[in-house]
Amino acid sequence: MLTQNTKLPLIIVAAYRVFPRELFESILSSGVPVAWHIHYHGPHEHIAEQLLDFVGSQPAAVLFDHRENRGLARSWNDSLRLLPRGKHDLAFLINDDLSFITGGFADFFSFIKEKEEGHNAAAFYSLPGNEIGDSALAGTVHIQGMACCALNTKIVQTIGLFDETFTPAYFEDCDYFRRIRLSNVPIILDSRILCSHERSSTLRGDDKLKAQSVEWWDRNKAYYLQKWGGEPDKETYDVPFVPNQML
């Protein structure tokens, strides 16, 4: 369990269909001490048990066993709200279908710490990664955005938390990037390819979930258009229109 004296980079992971063994091992093998917040959004007892065993093996880890697909934004926010100010410098948001190359997490962490040295302002960090597996993007390299990123605590104080209206997934990242840019928060990229991402592996392994995802996409896109007056990179509002909601 995390304590008030803990000062470690916090890894926030939302797991659903599989136990993210490759991700966990790629971070543990880096030698960088970290704290973990693992949110389980799936229904399977055996995966929950594996996650609980993993948490029990770590010196600073918490499992949030939700057993419902409650939304990425909601779980990310729950963890970010629990960060004791001044105790965690960095929080990493990492997809469960992503893993780092050997030494990749240590390299990414070192890059961020160097940028953060003597820096006391909001910043967002990400990197490119290899797209692998059966993804439609397999064989290409893409900036990972919210699939693998780090936020310093100042960014939450500057622009707030994620908009939980985007649920359970899609467009919550576009919305946050829009707010980052409007607030002139720097988006800093480590240009090295340090990770691999088997994008959308959860959907490919669950036909029911894949069908539901179309509805989520359409609903969240409609909300994004209402909020910002256009699609990502084509927005027309500099102040979001969010009726009956406070960000």
What is residue 150's DSSP assignment? E
Query: What angle (nearest 5°) sits at the alpha carbon of residue 125, between those of residues 121 and 151?
Result: 60
Torsion sign (Cα): 157, 110, 7, 53: positive
CATH 3.90.550.10 corresponds to the domain 10-228: yes
Burial of 200-239, coded b for 16+ CB within 10 Å and e otherwise, reads bbbbbeeeebeeebeebeeebbebbbebbeeeeeebeeee
Tell me the two tokens of residue 199: 């994008």
**C-beta of residue 19 within 8 angstroms of C-beta of residue 44:** no
Per-residue pLDDT tens digits of the chain, which is 247 residues long: 444 445 799 999 999 989 999 999 999 999 999 999 999 999 999 999 999 999 999 999 999 999 999 999 999 999 999 876 554 579 999 999 999 999 999 999 999 999 998 778 999 999 999 999 988 899 999 999 999 999 998 999 999 999 999 999 999 999 999 999 999 999 999 999 999 999 877 767 677 877 888 999 999 999 999 999 999 999 999 999 977 654 4
**C-beta of residue 57 within 8 angstroms of C-beta of residue 157:** no
Tell me the two tokens of residue 206: 């669950």
Closest CA to 58 of 8, 119, 104: 8
Tell me the domain boundaries of the chain: 10-228
> Which are the contacts of 212, defined by CB distance < 8 A and separation ≥ 6?
none
Residue ranges of alpha helices (H) inside the chain are 21-28, 45-56, 72-81, 104-116, 153-159, 172-182, 201-204, 207-228
pTM of the model: 0.93
